Amino acid sequence: MRLFPTGVAARSHGAHVSKWSFGKCAIAGTACRQRRRHFSSVKSSVKSARSDDVDDSDSLRILFCGTDQFSVASLQALAQYSKTRGSNVRSIDVVTRTDKRVGRGRKLVRPPAIKPAAQELGLPVHQIDTFRGWSPPTTAAACNLIVAVSFGLLIPPRILGAAKFGGLNVHPSMLPDLSGPAPIQWAIILGRERTGVSLQTLHPTRFDEGTVLDQTPPPGLEIPHPDAITAQELTSYLSLIGAQMLVNAIRNRLYIPPYNAVDSSNMAGKDLTRAPKITSELCAIDFEALTKPEILRRNRALQSLHGFVRFGPEPSQVLRINFGADMRDIRDGDVPEEVRVAAQAMPAGVPYAIIAAHENVNESSEPLIINARPDTYQEGCQIVIPTITVSSRAKGPGAGAAARAKFFSQPEVFGTYKLYRFSHPISGFPEPPFVECTAPPPKIGPSGLTNDNTRI
């Protein structure tokens, strides 16, 4: 399934996001109606109270800091608003990260997503990897508001303090819940059914500890199809809501002290969770430790999962397997009836493939199947992995790629099918190396530690 916007509009008298289509379902703009009611009832009074306090010389010269698709939506909405009659935005300069070399051999150069978007809008672009030794562009009038959206670098006090109106940040969560650099991914990993967007001031020394000036009304927005949505789709959904919130804050001059902070008393007593940076360790999957729902949520959130498998007699012979983002739940027809009992009895973490008896496994297009840790509350634990990439080899269908890497032991025959299984289970850790289940217990030394690095 995929989530696509079918219509977005930003107007000087109230931006809105119209409707989303998700696969074959249409998601009505309930969240947008909530936002319009929220803005009209709360922010209009703030605007009338503050408009008279702002001189024309205080029109905004914005330094916009961003990198990815989430920040692109805010930049585009802000640039569009700057061209409307009565806009209080005079200029926008964009700061982003430097282009990165990617791909095999690092031969390709990939710019941040916001760079071409800013260039298309005709905005000046400044690329940095650190603020050390860098200062905002010097013009006749210096930047007086910093806007940071999914930027990744803390704006230093010397730059933030030099901006008359400080800074604003759009954060895709219901702060203080899911504070941190990866709230969208963690909302999916944790199986959340609701989330939202917050607008906060920039703190001079810490991330996500500013004053929250606006926020999705509690209990938050329903996540469309929470059991199927990917991080990319949720990013697209929330990015337009965040862009709308930013423009309304600029229009209604919420950046001018004294701030009218959002009441966070409804968060009292709730179990708040951090959204830390996504690490390689989080992408390494241990099928013996995680349940099927946990693994599938992690795949939809990260889409770059991997594991490690021993492929020879020596414990040091370990290869990494990257799982395709097309990892999915088991479906009717994936496991023939003749093999069903044997497949369900396969130990957790041991990949297997079911091939027609006459088929050459090395050329097979069949997927791998892996049983995860059984879940007490849900029947079935089988996960299908259609494609894999073994170490530096080319991506290919699961069964054929595994066979060519010599991961399979001798097959078992079930009627007109052969059941191939890995000789060793997949682990989430490259070290310590695996040992056979029949290996003797490790010797314990005087210190109480084993004399090798094996793990039973």
Alpha carbons 125 and 119: distance in angstroms, whole number: 7
pLDDT classification of 242: cutoffs 50, 70, 90:
very high
Q: Hey, what's the torsion of the CAs at 93, 66, 79, 162, to 10 degrees?
A: -40
Alpha carbons 62 and 77: distance in angstroms, whole number: 13
Residue 272 lies in a domain: no
Same domain, 263 and 288: no
pTM of structure: 0.83
The 3-state DSSP class for residue 397 equals strand
Per-residue confidence (pLDDT) for residue 216, from 0 to 100: 97
pLDDT at 45 > cutoff 50: no
Radius of gyration of the chain (CA): 26
Residue 455 lies in a domain: no
Alpha carbons 145 and 339: distance in angstroms, whole number: 64
- Which one of 242, 267, 292 terminates a domain? 267
Same domain, 305 and 233: no
What residues make up the domain containing 115? 3-267
CATH number of domain containing 10: 3.40.50.170
- Which one of 217, 241, 267 terminates a domain? 267
Alpha carbons 258 and 365: distance in angstroms, whole number: 64
Token digits for 11?
């107007």
Give the mean pLDDT of 434-444: 41
Q: Which of 14, 10, 13, 11 is nearest to 33 (CA)?
A: 14
Residue 405 lies in a domain: yes
40 secondary structure, DSSP code:
I
Tell me the DSSP string of 362-374: GG--PPEEEE-B-
Per-residue confidence (pLDDT) for residue 4, from 0 to 100: 39
Give the mean pLDDT of 298-307: 96
Same domain, 193 and 318: no
Same domain, 42 and 168: yes
Same domain, 344 and 288: yes
Same domain, 180 and 324: no
Give the position of tokens 């469309």. 224
Q: Which residues contact 222 (CB under 8 A, 6 or more apart)?
A: 30, 193, 194
The larger pLDDT score, comparing residue 442 to residue 82, is at 82
Give the position of tokens 């079918």. 6
Alpha carbons 213 and 259: distance in angstroms, whole number: 7
Give the mean pLDDT of 44-73: 72
431 secondary structure, DSSP code:
S
Same domain, 131 and 35: yes
Same domain, 216 and 300: no
Whether the Cβ atoms of residue 285 and residue 323 lie closer than 8 Å to each other? yes
pLDDT in tens, 328-364: 999 999 999 999 999 999 999 999 999 999 999 999 9
Per-residue confidence (pLDDT) for residue 226, from 0 to 100: 96
Residue 433 lies in a domain: no
The 3-state DSSP class for residue 61 equals strand
Residue type, 265: S
Alpha carbons 272 and 289: distance in angstroms, whole number: 24
Residue 374 lies in a domain: yes
Length reported for the chain:
456
Residue 273 lies in a domain: no
Work out the burial of residue 256: count CB atoms within 10 Å of its CB; fewer than 13 is exposed, 13-18 middle, 19 or more buried. Answer: middle
pLDDT in tens, 350-405: 999 999 999 999 999 999 999 999 987 666 899 999 999 998 888 999 999 999 99
- Range in 72-86, 101-115, 165-179, 406-420 with the lowest mean pLDDT: 101-115
Same domain, 205 and 344: no
Looking only at the bridges linking them, the beta strands covering 221-222 and 417-421 are unpaired
Per-residue confidence (pLDDT) for residue 28, from 0 to 100: 37
Per-residue confidence (pLDDT) for residue 114, from 0 to 100: 98
Per-residue confidence (pLDDT) for residue 380, from 0 to 100: 82
Tell me the DSSP string of 331-380: -TTSS-GGGHHHHHTSPTT--EEEEETTS-GGG--PPEEEE-B-BTTBS-
The number of distinct structural domains making up the chain is 2
- Which one of 216, 239, 267 terminates a domain? 267
Alpha carbons 155 and 123: distance in angstroms, whole number: 20
Same domain, 300 and 180: no
pLDDT at 268 > cutoff 70: no
**What is the CB neighbour count within 10 angstroms for residue 44?**
12
pLDDT in tens, 182-203: 999 999 999 999 999 999 999 9
The 3-state DSSP class for residue 291 equals strand
Same domain, 167 and 239: yes
Token digits for 388?
């894999």
Residue 449 lies in a domain: no
CA distances (Å), 129 to each of 28, 70, 119, 151, 152, in order? 40, 19, 19, 11, 10
Give the position of tokens 């349940």. 291
Tell me the DSSP string of 156-218: PHHHHTTSTT-EEEEESS-TTTTBSS-HHHHHHHTT-SEE--EEEEPPSSSTT-S-EEEEPPT
